[in-house]
Structure 1
Amino acid sequence: MNPVEELHVSHAPAQLAEVEFHSPSTNDFWLPLFEVGGLEFTRGMLVIVLVTGLLVAWMLWAAKRAAVVPSKGMFVTEGIYNFARNDIARDLIGGQKFKPYLPLIFSLFVFVLVNNLLGVIPPVQMPTMSSIAFPLALTLVVYLTYHVAGIKQHGLVGYLKTFVPSGLPAPIVPVVFLLEFVSKTITQPLTLVLRLFGNMLAGHMALALFIMGGWFLVNSGPLMAIAGAGSWIMGLLMTFFEILIQCLQAYVFTLLSASYIGAALADDH
């Protein structure tokens, strides 16, 4: 082997790293499985269907296992339900007004939580909320709920009046009304969507970067394998941190949803 060939071989890992490694991007989250009538059915849609089926089966099982002395499984189920009921719905909506909206609040919490956790649970490892269409659909349900609830409670004109606190000087009433109208119709739903979507997207991309980068470094030579192992360790640590964020974001999404409903039902601003 001549010196030129030896130099080429010795630099093969660096060349391989430069040519073949591709950092994760948003395109990696669009994973079509098959096409029906020109519409693609993606992996995220499949996960949503699986989660829905899982939750329906869980609720049916819980309904059949209801007892005065709950089993361990029922104890966990009742704990989650009581958390959604007492610490979210009742605290944020208040009084007896929360009861009609409790099924929605509980469903939102467990649905978002399970979908988020599947982002780190093999073999799924697909955070469906990292695709903006899913949090957008959930937010649309919340958006319609709190506006309809407010109109039903106060009437259309009365609901619009709640946008402005009583006792304000007349000249600033239009300004405050405009700000509140924009907040309730645009800002609130927009932040609800982007907070959940952004956290799930960023977290999964960070995990993918550490894991994919570690795998590539391990296969790029003995020295680079040390850095690859470090990348995997960081990926493991990030996984535990991501689980915390996933639970927190399910809680925050449900908490804000309940607060918007409670604000729409409130008698004063």
Structure 2
Amino acid sequence: MKPSDDFQAPGLELFQFPPLWPGAPYWLTKPTLMAGVGALLVCVLLWAAFAHPRLVPRGLQNIAEMGYVFVRDQAARPFLGKDADRWMGLLLSIFLLSWIWNLMGVIPLVQLPVSSFLAYPAVIAFTVYVVKIYVGVRAQGARGYVGNLIPRGLPKLTYVLLIPLELLQNFVTSLFTHMLRLAANMFAGHVILAFFSAVGFWFLFERPTLLGVPLGALGVLMAIVMTGFEMFIQFLQAYLFVLLTAMFIGSSLNPEH
């Protein structure tokens, strides 16, 4: 058997896309298009749900209000308290956008989780980072904001190590943790789904053999199971993404918490 006839597991080529047409800008690729579609979809859904709200919600408004209540009660209020409602527009939009970007990984014909490309969650995470610092300085003053990052009442020698670590965590690693958590999980999930799908297709259709067909059937079964599991992870990661957003903003507004 020639090497070209061997099964090749999918790899980084899953995330490499040329421009949409010859001569198009290098950045105008399928992920860019899907990111824009996702943002437009969020705007359309929220407009359709809340442009003419009813006292007794029905249809899309009812579904949207369920999402609103979920984000408000599970992310905003625990960290923002009385300020939760002021930030719900931002938080709900981030939750829906990241969730839709994630779900694109299991939508037929699209099958591309936009969030697995680091640049897209990075834009949101950096925006949250700027907002966090801005509201912290505005609420506490620059000196108070930086000063309140450091716990008080500890032995003096502790601060030699603690101060650099706290500043590093708040001004550097929090940004990267925010965006990498989402991107890494979506990247790994997409590769896993692609692997099991490729196993099923290869051993059932490309190179069916007596021993290979059961392996291909197992690959298809695992692809189905992992798709269901991945949809749960997609929701969970969108929730954690907006939870961290609320936590960062809340810590700047209410340092005592």
TM-score normalised to structure 2 length:
0.92
| Residue 177 of structure 1, aligned match among 163, 181, 185 | 163
In the alignment, structure 2 segments of 5+ residues that lack a partner are none
2:28 aligns to what? 41
- Counterpart code for 2:223: G
| Residue 185 of structure 2, aligned match among 199, 208, 219 | 199
1:61 aligns to what? 48
**Structure 1 position 253 matched with structure 2 position 244:** no
Given that residues 48 and 60 in structure 2 are in contact (C-alpha distance below 8 angstroms), is that contact kept between their aligned partners in structure 1? no
User: Relative to structure 1, is the Cα distance of residues 101 and 64 closer, same or farther in structure 2, using a 3 angstrom cutoff?
Assistant: closer
1:159-217 superposed Cα distances (whole Å, 9 cap, x missing partner): 01101123234443343221110001112111112111111000010000111121111
Given that residues 113 and 190 in structure 2 are in contact (C-alpha distance below 8 angstroms), is that contact kept between their aligned partners in structure 1? yes
Superposition pairs of residues 95-244 of structure 1, within 5 angstroms: 95=82, 97-218=83-204, 219-223=206-210, 224-244=212-232
* CA–CA distance in structure 2, aligned partners of residues 62 and 21 of structure 1: 48
Given that residues 66 and 74 in structure 1 are in contact (C-alpha distance below 8 angstroms), is that contact kept between their aligned partners in structure 2? yes
Given that residues 202 and 208 in structure 2 are in contact (C-alpha distance below 8 angstroms), is that contact kept between their aligned partners in structure 1? no
* CA–CA distance in structure 2, aligned partners of residues 256 and 21 of structure 1: 41
* CA–CA distance in structure 1, aligned partners of residues 85 and 29 of structure 2: 36
CA displacement at 1:66 relative to structure 2: 0.8
CA displacement at 1:221 relative to structure 2: 2.5
State how many pairs are aligned.
254
* CA–CA distance in structure 2, aligned partners of residues 232 and 200 of structure 1: 20
CA displacement at 1:123 relative to structure 2: 2.0
- Counterpart code for 1:77: A
Given that residues 50 and 61 in structure 2 are in contact (C-alpha distance below 8 angstroms), is that contact kept between their aligned partners in structure 1? no
In the alignment, structure 1 segments of 5+ residues that lack a partner are 1-14
User: Relative to structure 1, is the Cα distance of residues 35 and 180 closer, same or farther in structure 2, using a 3 angstrom cutoff?
Assistant: farther
User: Relative to structure 1, is the Cα distance of residues 267 and 225 closer, same or farther in structure 2, using a 3 angstrom cutoff?
Assistant: closer
* CA–CA distance in structure 2, aligned partners of residues 166 and 201 of structure 1: 40
1:82 aligns to what? 69
1:67-123 superposed Cα distances (whole Å, 9 cap, x missing partner): 01111321111000111122211111112x233322111111010011111110112
Is the radius of gyration larger for structure 1 or structure 2?
A: 1
CA displacement at 1:37 relative to structure 2: 6.7
TM-score normalised to structure 1 length:
0.88
What SS does structure 1 have at the residue aligned with 2:21?
Answer: strand
Given that residues 118 and 127 in structure 1 are in contact (C-alpha distance below 8 angstroms), is that contact kept between their aligned partners in structure 2? yes
**Structure 1 position 262 matched with structure 2 position 250:** yes
User: Relative to structure 1, is the Cα distance of residues 215 and 267 closer, same or farther in structure 2, using a 3 angstrom cutoff?
Assistant: closer
* CA–CA distance in structure 2, aligned partners of residues 59 and 67 of structure 1: 14
Q: 223-232 or 26-35, which moves further after superposition? A: 26-35
* CA–CA distance in structure 1, aligned partners of residues 188 and 143 of structure 2: 42
* CA–CA distance in structure 1, aligned partners of residues 65 and 207 of structure 2: 51
- Counterpart code for 1:61: A
User: Relative to structure 1, is the Cα distance of residues 156 and 174 closer, same or farther in structure 2, using a 3 angstrom cutoff?
Assistant: farther
Q: Report percent identity of matched pairs.
A: 32
